[in-house]
Amino acid sequence: MSVDEQALRILERNSATTVQELHDVLSTRYPSLTKTEAVDLVWRLAGQDKVELEDVPPATKSLAEYLRHWERNLWLYGSLAISLATVLVIYTMPSEFPFVAVRWVLGSIFVLFIPGYVTVEALFPRGRELDSIERFALSVGLSLALVPLVGLLLNYTPWGIRLTPIVISLTILTIGLAAIALARQYRISAERSETLSNL
């Protein structure tokens, strides 16, 4: 029996297992099997659609520890960085031609993509629910729906629809939705970690 077949039998008996657990079981029968080879084996089986991979978040005890996993929270750091960079560029850069192009680019991303993107992250906190094209299209669509609503609400306030109220409102909206998305993703991560620790 080959290593692939042995791995499939192990995975069929255990409905869910980690690559580390698979390596530990296989290494008793194949002592020369390295962790890298076990990872390659799992990728090969996934490429043949024989196993399904799931990204399990690392076990974390606090939100601060969860935030240290930057690769999981790249969406958060990127969204906040673009939002804050846009605010800085709007209020610090001169509005002459070479500099105004930066304002146009960052402003377009800030208005047409970021509010919808953090909303999608809040609505679909599990990464596998949408693929990247669906996520992008929904982000643009939701931004095109949310930004006019913010403008409509500002129209009925004493501040009106001017640059500063719009920038402040969209920044607050983005930070608020990003906080909701982060809280939902952290909760899912904590639940998965607790489930895995109870197995």
pLDDT of residue 194: 65
On whether both 137 and 183 belong to a single domain, the answer is yes
On whether both 37 and 78 belong to a single domain, the answer is no
Domain count of the chain?
2
pLDDT of residue 126: 76
Tell me the average confidence (pLDDT) per consecutive run of 10 residues in the chain, 199 residues long: 72 67 74 78 76 63 76 88 94 86 92 95 82 91 95 91 93 95 84 60
On whether both 112 and 18 belong to a single domain, the answer is no
On whether both 154 and 68 belong to a single domain, the answer is yes
Q: Is residue 58 part of a domain?
A: no
Q: Is residue 52 part of a domain?
A: no
pLDDT of residue 16: 55
pLDDT of residue 44: 78
On whether both 42 and 85 belong to a single domain, the answer is no
pTM summary value: 0.71
pLDDT of residue 195: 60
Domain around 29: 3-47
On whether both 163 and 78 belong to a single domain, the answer is yes
On whether both 82 and 138 belong to a single domain, the answer is yes
On whether both 90 and 181 belong to a single domain, the answer is yes
On whether both 36 and 69 belong to a single domain, the answer is no
On whether both 86 and 125 belong to a single domain, the answer is yes
Q: Is residue 54 part of a domain?
A: no
Q: Is residue 57 part of a domain?
A: no
On whether both 179 and 117 belong to a single domain, the answer is yes
On whether both 126 and 178 belong to a single domain, the answer is yes
Task: Assign 3-class secondary structure to the chain.
Answer: CCHHHHHHHHHHHCCCCCHHHHHHHHHHHCCCCCHHHHHHHHHHHHHCCCCCCCCCCCCCCCHHHHHCCCCCCHHHHHHHHHHHHHHHHHHHCCCCHHHHHHHHHHHHHHHHCHHHHHHHHHHCCCHHHCCHHHHHHHHHHHHHHHHHHHHHHHHCCCCCCCHHHHHHHHHHHHHHHHHHHHHHHHHHHHHHHHHHHHC
